[in-house]
Amino acid sequence: MIYTKKTPWTLVLGIIMVAYAYMVQAGIMEPLIKYLHTSKLVGEMVMLGYVCGGIAIVVGLLQAFTTPKQGNFDYYLSAVGGLAFILVIAFIVKWGLDPQMGAWGKAAAPTLGFNFASVMNLNYVVMGIVAGIIVVNVFKIPEWAENGVRMSRLGLKTGVILLGVLYSWEELRNLAGLSVVLIGFFVLGSVGLTLWMGARRNIPNSMGGVLSAGLGVCGVSAAVAAAPVVQAKSTEIAYTIGTILLWGVMCMFLFPIVGKQLGMNYTQFGAWAGTGILNSAQVAGAALAFQPTGIETLKVAEIFNITRILFLPIIVLWLAVWYVKREVTGERVNLGQVIFAKFPLFVLGFILMFLLGSSGVFSPAQHYVGKYFDNSDKALVKTDKATGKVTDKRLKDADAEKLQAEAGKLQREDQKAALARLIAEKKAMSPDHSTTLRGIINSKVLSKEASDILKKQHEAVYHTAKKIAMFRDIIAWLFTFGLTGLGMQITMASIKQAGGQPLVIGSVVGTVKAVGSLIVVMLFVTEIV
């Protein structure tokens, strides 16, 4: 362990966070919040500012008035300053830079022809990594913050554990056999090909392991999950993330063009995008680019993407065994011993949270990531106990008349029937009914006013379990925090020493995966959803 010197910065950063929370709560920051359109984040600004700032203040005062004694307790206390340092930067990125970048992307779209922030995936997670890289390379990590920066990966591990909550047995049961077979073949094949190429090109086992997970499963999240198993260095994770993001952006542009030229249907393209694109975030982008006026393609693509993510524990287990064989003895090992000694606890935690989520502990296991369908009057009509105000989300008569007036614009019989049913029943009657209504919205056949009415009806019947919403917020912050800290461990000097092998391997594996899955899909996938 490396012990830092006594510093007042833990106390100072705590005061800054608490002061910011107070200014938000008091309305002093309201002009900035309105400018950035971050009013929905006010709750987390206040809560995180007070809680995290309060902890930093307590620790800072403890450090100021006590004599440190080297040991585990002092080490963890000394890390709080660095953790607060990362948090302040993460706050700036998520609450300031992220919404501002989104606004700039939209503003530049008419000139550039595309939203650069969306295309380049410039969200707060990616920008957090970049911010960390800038801090460590342009400036320098303060000595008092070093312990906290080293501990930042704990946030990533905890995030992976909680990620298990977002999946359920209901999803697994509804997955088509085709998705399991197709994804299984290409996930396992991509991992195996990457490991084989890595050995041929003499890259470190840690680099090959983390790269194989990222290329084979679901991109950045898989790379982060596998990194501790193969003891990957920060530079190796950085190269993996860069390779995945670069290839994902290319695929997002190329896949829809190829799909259109080949005359692929919604099911074919969704299966191909969900299998062949490395990065999960780019799967949705490609699906929507292929079919911007409906969600049928997106639905298929997400089914395959979810299947891919569910392979993550299997791949991590494989890599745990592989790494021990190659790095430790190179001989046959006892699988049970490997699992016990080397399998990361955070993956076991992921599996446990998955099982708990599947049991309905956190939400009804009816829909993707805890969002379930409920069109009961109890869910749609609510009375505020404090004010007595009644909120009725069912279709109003005036809105029904507007929809009826535009019903003649629809050409598809299923959409005509769905609209007529909505007008008669005053609400969406089933998930399939709601999905068809969403298809009407995306077709842009109706006026904006009518589309807005349908959008409200679609959203009214879907509810996110409160516990799931809480977990999603926590997970987002854990990854933001962990990846910002990870960026602070990536220096340009170390990256230059790593060489360009990951990009070469990633390009080969990505091409094989994309072309191979295309051939399989064109030969065996014909069904239209």
Give the separation between CA 259 and CA 263, rounded to whole angstroms: 6
371: β partners:
464
Q: Confidence band (pLDDT; 50, 70, 90) for 529?
A: very low
464: β partners:
371
* pLDDT tens per residue, range 300-312: 787 787 778 778 7
Q: Indicate the helix (H) or strand (E) that contains 489.
A: none
**Please, which residues have CB within 8 angstroms of residue 173's CB and are 6 or more apart in sequence?**
none
* pLDDT tens per residue, range 463-475: 777 777 777 778 7
* pLDDT tens per residue, range 31-72: 998 888 888 888 889 999 999 999 999 999 988 887 777 766
Strands (E), 94-237: none
pLDDT at 492: 67
Per-residue tokens: 453: 């009415």
Please say whether the beta carbons of 362 and 474 come within 8 A.
Answer: no
Statement: residue 439 has pLDDT above 60: yes
**CA-based Rg of the chain, rounded to a whole angstrom?**
25
Statement: residue 489 has pLDDT above 80: no
pTM of the model: 0.63
* pLDDT tens per residue, range 179-204: 778 888 898 899 999 999 988 888 88
Q: How far is CA 358 from CA 368, 431, 463, in A?
A: 11, 20, 17
3-class DSSP assignment, residue 463? strand
Give the separation between CA 529 and CA 435, rounded to whole angstroms: 12
Q: Match 């591990």 to its residue by tokens.
A: 157
Out of 155-159, 255-259, 324-328, 513-517, which region has the weakest mean confidence (pLDDT)?
Answer: 324-328
Handedness of CA 35, 40, 44, 46 (dihedral sign): positive
- Alpha helices, H only, 407-487: 413-425, 431-443, 448-460, 466-487
What DSSP assignment string belongs to 292-306?
A: TT-SHHHHHHHHHHH
253 against 146, higher pLDDT: 146
**Please, which residues have CB within 8 angstroms of residue 148's CB and are 6 or more apart in sequence?**
78, 79, 80, 81, 82, 83, 84, 85, 86, 485
What DSSP assignment string belongs to 359-408?
A: TTSSS-TTSGGGEEE---HHHHEEE-TTT--EEE-SPPHHHHHHHHHHGG
84 against 236, higher pLDDT: 84
* pLDDT tens per residue, range 112-142: 776 777 666 566 766 777 888 888 888 888 8
